[in-house]
Amino acid sequence: MQNEIITRTHLTCPVCGAREELEIPADMCLFFHTCATCSARFRPEAGDCCVFCSYGDASCIPQQREQLAAQSEENGA
């Protein structure tokens, strides 16, 4: 199980399927991303806060922090 914050991940373009390695911004959600391959500008899916949550291998930093916090609460209980 993941136990540390991932800061680099791959985004998969929903239009052309190209994968791109990106740094996850630490303190903001990336709401738009333009594909380097097909130039499509895409947005998160409904209910997701950023493109990493929708199309990335890892969620955005705030989501990862929440997941880690939830895990450590479980372990401590």
What is the footprint of Zn ion within residues 33-62 (CB under 5 A)? Answer: 35, 37-38, 40
Minimal distance in Å, beta carbon 63 to Zn ion? 23
Minimal distance in Å, beta carbon 2 to Zn ion? 27
Strands (E), the chain: 8-12, 19-23, 33-34, 41-42
11 touching Zn ion, by CB under 5 A: no
Residue 62 DSSP class: H
CA distances from 65 to 22, 25, 37, 38, 57 (A): 18, 13, 30, 32, 16
Please identify, using beta-carbon distances, which residue of 2 and 37 lies nearer to Zn ion: 37
Please identify, using beta-carbon distances, which residue of 15 and 28 lies nearer to Zn ion: 15
31 pairs with which residues across the strands? none
Footprint on this chain of Zn ion (rule: CB under 5 A): 13, 15-16, 18, 35, 37-38, 40
